[in-house]
Amino acid sequence: MAEPTQDQIDELVAVAIAVRGMAYAPFSKFYVGAAILDNEGRVFSGVNVENSSYGLTICAERTAAGTAITAGAKEFVAVAVATPGAAAPCGACRQFLYEFGPRCTVLLVDSETGAVKHTATLDEFLPSGFRLSS
Ligand code: THU
């Protein structure tokens, strides 16, 4: 698993913050931006998309992952998530991302300051994640 360079980290953080404004979150008012770096150096982004039927809400990380996979991404190297207070990905998103990069770097970004508040690998966030193949 490749490590992201500092330039790539800076770009991911900037993209996650920039895209966050596109979130559709009229119910929670909690706007989330996510950016994914794949092993070819490409960056994909996503936001949370809520729905009047609340349970249908899609998190920013899963939106970004779907975009990445649609573009042909195979492996995730790093994921940046930007929220107020640098919230950690929910359990569902941890498992969803685990499929494509169990040891990828996860960056928790405070969207108000741009600061990376916490960095860890995905398998630190999700020990013993589920995979059909190993
Ligand atoms: N949300 C995300 O986008 N990512 C997460 O990992 C956790 C939560 C969104 C879903 C919902 O639109 C809002 O944050 C509040 O839960």
> Does an H or E element contain 108, and which?
strand 105-110
Write down the pLDDT at residue 2: 84
Atom of ligand 1 nearest to the CA of 59: 3
pTM equals 0.97
38 close to ligand 1 (CB < 6 Angstrom): no
Buried b / exposed e over 109-118, threshold 16 CB at 10 Å, is bbbeeeebee
Do 111 and 22 touch, CB atoms closer than 8 A? no
Q: How many residues does the chain have?
A: 134
31 close to ligand 1 (CB < 6 Angstrom): no
Known binding site: residues? 48-54, 59, 90, 93
Domains of the chain (ranges; CATH) run 6-125 (3.40.140.10)
Residue-wise pLDDT tens digits, 89-129 = 999 999 999 999 999 999 999 999 999 999 999 999 999 99
48 close to ligand 1 (CB < 6 Angstrom): yes
